[in-house]
Amino acid sequence: MARLFGTDGVRGKANADLTPELAMAVAVAAAHTLAESDRSHPPLAVVGRDPRASGEMLEAAVVAGLASAGANVVRVGVLPTPGVAYLVGEAKADLGVMLSASHNPMPDNGIKLFAAGGHKLPDEVEHVIEAAVADGTAWKRPTGAGVGRVHDLLDGAEHYIQHLVSTVPHRLDGLRVVVDCANGAASDVAPTAYREAGAEVIAIHAEPDGLNINDGCGSTHLEPLKAAVREHQAHLGIAHDGDADRCLAVTAEGDEVDGDQIMAILALAMRDGGGLTADTLVATVMSNLGLRLAMSKAGIRLIETKVGDRYVLEELRASALALGGEQSGHIVMPAYATTGDGVLTGLHLMSRLAATGRSLGELAAVVTKLPQVLINVPVTDRTAGATAPAVVAAAAEAEAELGETGRILLRPSGTEPLVRVMVEAETLERAQLVAERVAAVVRTI
């Protein structure tokens, strides 16, 4: 059976790959799997979504599935993914469901599941849910008073914003920021949180209509943010994706600041404040070699995981560490959040600017990035495309050629029919040449 879950939940084109029937089946299986251990009270589930139009349809299916399994449901409406995770913990719920395809285009949608406490699911639990969905196990359906009830939480965003602002170590007074909300789930939350923390905020792409999420804006399209930062003479720009679990930034000069640089800035801030446990940062194998060199120079240990913030989270929890993340802008601070939180990251990044009086460009310069080329190769079978003997041989040859002056990473996408070919080298030209050569082999599979 093909895997139902990717690196971040179940994802596909809404009403084609991800149908209401599938959403309901996943919800039923999740309710029984995540709340099976304690039936002394009805399970409680928190359900949120981003503003894409298909979320309304899928929310109805998920809520129906949960209630049919006997779970009481609290709908929190449009809210960032980390906001839903936070409310799962606050409500002491048995599970949470977030309907979002993150940075993917509007026609896509996804189902992200959280266990009690707002934590993402380990692989073994996802396997149990997958097997239950595939098997179509007919659990005994409750009737009468055993059917779950559905309620709306109208002030969930306010509770979440209050929590976010309470974590800021230094107020943001005096900073002017442009925030690109990607016409997504943070369109209200991000500007409000940044203002309440003291910043002057100019919000762009903060008028979601269900169809315009991630459309030429947000963390995957930074040009509009760069233009707005220059127009408003802002100190920096912050970009979120559709469900606001990511944060990327732009300097006053219009230079991009990625997740690696943000992690370095936060790691040094936390180390200086005594909050970086064991002077250790957790990142994925996709992080630039420049981050590794910068952290080594600062005396900070770097642990690598597989790609996906869930694997960063697992390492953070297993080793009781304080900071981790991905180059893509998923940054995790376990003291304040159970998952990557873009708005939380933006607050703490700006807090470092305010506390030091230094510009974002100055702070980001601690990382000298090696030129990196990433080619996404469309494939029919992403696993075969990454593991075929010819592809493996081409990657090995490239790795030997690069030696210690660069590296190559070949991996199937966890959410799309793509194989990602990433190459770092001393020069952009060499990285591009090597990446194109390996990508050409992948295209033959």
The residue whose two tokens read 């607050």 is 347
Contacts of 123 (CB under 8 A, 6+ apart): none
In degrees and rounded to multiples of 5, residue 165 shows phi and psi of: -65, -30
Structure confidence at residue 383 as a pLDDT band (50, 70, 90)? confident
Give the C-alpha separation, 309 to 320, whole Å. 16
Burial class (CB in 10 A: 0-12, 13-18, 19+), 139: middle
Structure confidence at residue 308 as a pLDDT band (50, 70, 90)? confident
- pLDDT, position 39: 61
Find residue 281's DSSP bridge partners.
Answer: 302
Rounded average pLDDT over 77-90 = 98
- pLDDT, position 420: 94
Find residue 150's DSSP bridge partners.
Answer: 73
Give the C-alpha separation, 85 to 64, whole Å. 20
How many angstroms separate the first and last alpha carbons of the chain? 21
- Residue 88 contacts residue 46 (beta carbons within 8 Å): yes
- pLDDT, position 37: 54
Give the C-alpha separation, 257 to 251, whole Å. 7
Between residues 342 and 415, which one has the greater pLDDT?
342
The answer to whether 241 is a known ligand-binding residue is yes
Report residue 284 as tokens: 């994925």
Structure confidence at residue 321 as a pLDDT band (50, 70, 90)? very high
- Of the candidates 54, 100, 102, 328, the residue annotated as catalytic is 102
Nearest to 434 by CA among 408, 416, 403, 411: 408
Find residue 409's DSSP bridge partners.
Answer: 422
**Average model confidence (pLDDT) for the chain?**
94
Quote the percentage of the chain above a pLDDT of 70: 98
- pLDDT, position 319: 96
- pLDDT, position 2: 61
- Residue 385 contacts residue 439 (beta carbons within 8 Å): no
Nearest to 309 by CA among 276, 337, 288, 274: 337
The answer to whether 38 is a known ligand-binding residue is no
- Residue 419 contacts residue 412 (beta carbons within 8 Å): yes
| Residue 188 DSSP one-character state | T
Residue 38: is its pLDDT beyond 60? no
Give the C-alpha separation, 220 to 52, whole Å. 17
* This model's pTM is above 0.85: yes
Contacts of 377 (CB under 8 A, 6+ apart): 385, 418, 419, 420, 421, 439, 442, 443
Cα 96 vs. chain centroid, distance in angstroms?
A: 16
The answer to whether 173 is a known ligand-binding residue is no
Element at 32 (helix H, strand E)? helix 20-34
Rounded average pLDDT over 385-406 = 91
Report residue 100 as tokens: 């979002």
The answer to whether 100 is a known ligand-binding residue is no
**Catalytic residue at 287?**
no
Give the Cβ contact number of residue 152 at 10 Å. 10
Delineate the domains of the chain, giving CATH numbers in brackets: 10-154 (3.40.120.10), 159-364 (3.40.120.10), 372-442 (3.30.310.50)
Cα 151 vs. chain centroid, distance in angstroms?
A: 27
Rounded average pLDDT over 194-212 = 98
The pLDDT tens digits for 397-432 are 999 999 877 889 998 887 788 999 999 998 999 999
Find residue 408's DSSP bridge partners.
Answer: 423
Report residue 257 as tokens: 């600041």
